[in-house]
Structure 1
Amino acid sequence: MKYILSFVLILIGCLFVKAQEGPAEPEQEKALQSSTNLTWEANKELSENDFVGAEADYRRAISKSTENIAAPYNLGNAYYNRESFSEAFGRFKQAGELATDKADKHKAFHNLGNVFMKNKEYEKAVEAYKEALRNNPSDEETRYNLALAKEMLKKEKQNQQNQDNEEDQDQKDQKEQNQDQQDNKGQQEQDQNQEEQDPQQQGDQEKEENKEGEGEEKQEQEKQPQQNDGEQKKQPKPSQLSPQQIKNLLEAMQNEEKKVQEKMDAKKVKGAKIKNVKDW
């Protein structure tokens, strides 16, 4: 941080000694004077590295009068230099709210901006420096700090955007990986189920084939007697003639042959030619 705070002794140049208009005014002036004296004492203790004593006197000074802007402002500086930024923020904020002139407001908001920068709250620092410049536009240190705060805020937003993009990509990659694992698991289960079903299907197929073979064999066996019956029907039945019938049949056949032979002999006599041969 370019702007290094030093202990600013905001002295009350004049105590606005006013004409007494009532009994309350002398009490307020007395309280303000007591607060101012305690602030001087705290400043001295702080310069002697007695932080505990200085802190106690600053707190007493703040409790004495709300018109003493120097007490909370200087206590805020003391906290800031000890890097107690949370306590410093509270005192600078108090000083800014109590300040009535632009110079005091400018200093309070400038230091508030420095606290925000230390806490890396760049957006709040930008607003604090802007408020300081509204009360003192000519302060170059405040203007420099404002430019620095804006640059840091820009980088912060860019880094946040990059981080968001990376997280989105990581989530997308993780989702795809989970989907791939789920698909692979499903495929493995399907393959395993198929392997378990194949032997059963093969056994069922063999049973079916055996059943079909047995059916065909049975059909062939059923057809075979029918064919034998057909062949037996086609064959002539053996003769069932009695012996007498057989004898009569043979005699009839012999008589028939005899008649045929006689007819043939008769034809030979009639057809014989006479030879006209002269004998010597």
Structure 2
Amino acid sequence: MKKIKYTLIIFLLLFSTKEIAAQKDTIAQQRTARKMLRQGNELYQKKQFTDASVAYQKALGSNSNYDKAAYNLGNAFYQNNNFKEAIPQYELTAKTAKDKFTKAEAYHNIGNAMMESKNYQGAVDAYKNSLRNNPNDDETRYNLAVAQKLLDKQNQQNKDDKNKDNKDQDKKDKDDKNKDKNKDNKDGEDKDKKDEDKDKDGKGDNDKDKNQDPKQDDKKNQQKPKPQQGKMTPQQIKQLLESLNNEEKKTQKKMNAKKAQGKKVKQEKDW
């Protein structure tokens, strides 16, 4: 039983020693954090913002929840125009700060950094959060009005740009459509021209045939089959023979008349 008591006493002593050591480490880190914060503030007052940001980062390395170090680091980044890097530091302060005034200041600076980055929607939201924590801050209220005006102007510009892009796209589509239509018309004209040229070529071939050697034409004509004579009916043959016979009689009568004119007419004496 005594052995168990001794074991418990030793365990409690070891645990207490570790807890005391951890507390000492925490206290040491907090002291280091405060020391680096003061060093950063001195550099910040001298406008050595880059060196000041290094000191603040060391302070946060010793105590990650050190609100003042985070807030001042955001200010150092802001002064160096590193607005995007400053915003997360202000957000950390706004999240961890216990009093509303500190939260309002953090949101106010977030709005300022957003304004510098031309993120007007983010600036409007940040200033509104700042006023929720400190409604009496006239400077924040003024900045909110400016941010809202710039946001409206930005939205209108985006709307105009979108309409312009749509008009340009419609014009491009219309031009492409007209281009295709003109292309179709041109293709049709080219086809008609080709057909016309083809007809001219055919006419030229005919003219070429006219200029060929006549002997070749005779040869071609000789090669053509002769038309066959039509057959006559018996009636047509009879009529033809009668016609020939009548012509022959007429011819014979004319010949006899000529012979008679050549002879002297014998006259009878009138006694």
Partners of 1:230 and 1:175 lie apart in 2 by 87
> Out of 163, 166, 170, which is 1:172 matched to?
170
Does 2:40 align with 1:42?
Answer: yes
Moved more, 139-148 or 55-64: 55-64
AA of the residue aligned to 1:116: M
Q: Tell me how far 1:72 sits from its aligned partner.
A: 1.1
Structure 1 residues 25-40: aligned runs within 5 Å:
28=26, 31-40=29-38
Does 2:105 align with 1:95?
Answer: no
Which residue of the partner structure matches residue 104 of structure 2?
106
> Out of 157, 160, 176, which is 1:159 matched to?
157
Which residue of the partner structure matches residue 148 of structure 1?
146
Judge conservation of contact 2:130–2:140 (CA < 8 Å) in 1: yes
Partners of 2:123 and 2:39 lie apart in 1 by 32
Which residue of the partner structure matches residue 70 of structure 2?
72
Q: Tell me how far 1:93 sits from its aligned partner.
A: 1.6
Q: Tell me how far 1:82 sits from its aligned partner.
A: 1.2
Deviations 1:127-146 (CA, angstroms, capped at 9, x unpaired): 11111111101111111111
Structure 1 residues 176-255: aligned runs within 5 Å:
176-200=174-198, 203=202, 234-235=239-240, 236=242, 238=244
How many pairs are equivalent?
Answer: 204
Judge conservation of contact 1:122–1:153 (CA < 8 Å) in 2: yes
AA of the residue aligned to 1:150: Q
Q: Tell me how far 1:192 sits from its aligned partner.
A: 0.9
AA of the residue aligned to 1:179: K
Which residue of the partner structure matches residue 127 of structure 1?
125
Partners of 2:112 and 2:199 lie apart in 1 by 81
Which residue of the partner structure matches residue 63 of structure 1?
61
Give the fraction of aligned pairs with identical amino acids, expressed as a percent.
29
Does 2:120 align with 1:85?
Answer: no
Partners of 2:141 and 2:60 lie apart in 1 by 30
- Higher relative contact order by CA 8 Å / sep ≥ 6: 1 or 2? 1
Partners of 1:49 and 1:200 lie apart in 2 by 89
Q: Tell me how far 1:178 sits from its aligned partner.
A: 0.8
Q: Tell me how far 1:198 sits from its aligned partner.
A: 2.9
AA of the residue aligned to 2:118: K
AA of the residue aligned to 2:42: K
Q: Tell me how far 1:122 sits from its aligned partner.
A: 0.8
Q: Tell me how far 1:201 sits from its aligned partner.
A: 5.3
Q: Which runs of 5+ in 2 are unaligned?
A: 1-18, 207-225, 246-271
Partners of 1:143 and 1:188 lie apart in 2 by 67
Judge conservation of contact 2:53–2:77 (CA < 8 Å) in 1: no
Secondary structure of residue in 2 paired with 1:40:
helix
Judge conservation of contact 1:106–1:133 (CA < 8 Å) in 2: yes
Which residue of the partner structure matches residue 248 of structure 1?
none
What value does the CA root-mean-square deviation take over the aligned residues?
3.2
Q: Tell me how far 1:40 sits from its aligned partner.
A: 1.5
Larger radius of gyration: 1
Secondary structure of residue in 1 paired with 2:118:
coil
Which residue of the partner structure matches residue 9 of structure 1?
none
Which residue of the partner structure matches residue 249 of structure 2?
none
Alignment TM-score, normalising by the size of structure 1: 0.63
Which residue of the partner structure matches residue 4 of structure 1?
none
Partners of 2:135 and 2:25 lie apart in 1 by 37
Q: Which runs of 5+ in 1 are unaligned?
A: 1-21, 208-220, 240-280
Does 2:109 align with 1:118?
Answer: no
